[in-house]
Structure 1
Amino acid sequence: MILFARALAALRAPASVTILALLGLVPPADAAPCPGQSDALGTARVMEVPPGARVGTKSFPQTLPLADREVVLTFDDGPWPTTTAAILDALKAECVRATFFLIGENARIRPELVRRARAEGHTIAHHSMTHPEATLAGLPFPAAVAEIERGIAADDFAAYGTVAGAPRIPFFRFPGFAATPALLDYLSQRGISVFGADLWASDWNKMTPEQELDLVLRRLDAAGRGIILFHDTKSQTAAMIPAFLRALAERGYHTVHIVPASATARPPN
């Protein structure tokens, strides 16, 4: 516990890159080959995230300790018919693992897509029960907590068939990044890490897949690394992802898969 407390303090501090590595919370590269595709992008390594972390420079002063040209792929708002399946197909073809921040209502309706994502090695994370129009910051505190907890329960039931006292994957992203100090404190007390993003594809705007690809690559080349936000509910994103993964490989980028601290040492649930 002392080790994780120090790691969490390090992740919230500007020196987190070196301290996390020194504490051994960044496992070695995952060099497993991609069957049938020798030039696949693949997943370069797995990174463990300590409990209660707050990362993503769009929301917080610090982000994950990524090396140059390393990216974490995240998808919000799913699962959604057709588009989530297409994105899972593209990720599977390139042996890339991503993180899906699910809306509980969508997970409840489409558990087969949640189970597929989990079975293919992706991280199942949380994004509230209904993605309320007013955002969680616009709700009374008890209602916002209920939105969070109901979403976690729905996601876990869809993924695992049971609901435990704590989320299986303690990762959360606020809808619209609209956090409050009280809700951040609540999640920290629950040991739940909060994710912002370092860059996004702006795929909530209408554009062609080609326009989205150009936009996100320009932003990524400017940033050099980071947590990238997509939405697996968007048809333009689903159409763009195969070309995006190919472009990452061609440009020398590497993908990092995020999991809770010590999750790699535990047997699958």
Structure 2
Amino acid sequence: MSEALRSLLDLLDLERIEENIFRGASRPAVIPRVFGGQVAAQALVAAGRTVDPGRPAHSLHAYFLRPGDPGAPIVYTVDRIRDGRSFTTRRVVAVQHGKPIFHLSASFQFHEEGLEHQEPMPAAPDPETLPTAAELLPKHAHLFSDPGVVDRMLEARSAVDLRYVDEPPYATAAQGPREPRSQVWFRTNGKLGGEIDAPLLHVCLATYVSDMTLLDSVLLAHGRGGWAVGDVVGASLDHAMWFHRPFRADEWLLYDQSSPSSSGGRGLGQARIYTADGRLAVTVIQEGLVRVPRV
């Protein structure tokens, strides 16, 4: 296991300070606020620790309310909304400096058999044939106005091996609009096992990664490179995930992303996460703030 992955696991290992209250640390992000995937994953950890382990998470719905302060701890308060025979519902509020910064509702379900179907996995190349972040980012360093961005991006993603199928938005913005679709393969930078190898952890790790690239397809539709090249200002507004089938975050997962619409300063991203053998594991939808800076 890489040191970066161990650090991420420590970040997700919240401190229980009361029966339904947990505290989490933050880590430096690429931009001066808490990474949205971090607070979403930590909130899901908090919710999951109040639920029977035999009931895995099947969905979450969340709103990002305020920018998080990466220099301060985050307190997560869990409200045990319902414990039913089949479903368990939790509500989590993340607080910093006395104000809520994030709100999550999550549902957990006792496993049962039912009808089965799924959309087939789209075509994608073998992830092992694609460049790593360490190979890709330095090649495009000249596009970023801030020379420190590459190092910060590599540090922020060091716990995850994330590989673009096609060039990312910042690399092709000068070429104009592209089809609003983006694919990345990802897995943790190291294997998980032993006591830490629990279904909730894999779901929380996928939640963490899901906020990294989902709005790329919005940028592609307009030939924009993103915040890193300074042609848009963006932030996550809300986030929803449905966990359909078990998966492992330390094995390759295909994140197939697209954008059906953008308007009113907001862009919508939707995605499906597939296992390498073609099983549909997760559906993700997010709306984000996507503003063009005023000159």
TM-score band by shorter chain is under 0.3
Larger strand proportion of the pair: 2
| TM-score relative to the length of structure 1 | 0.27
**Larger relative helix fraction:** 1
Which has the larger Rg? 2
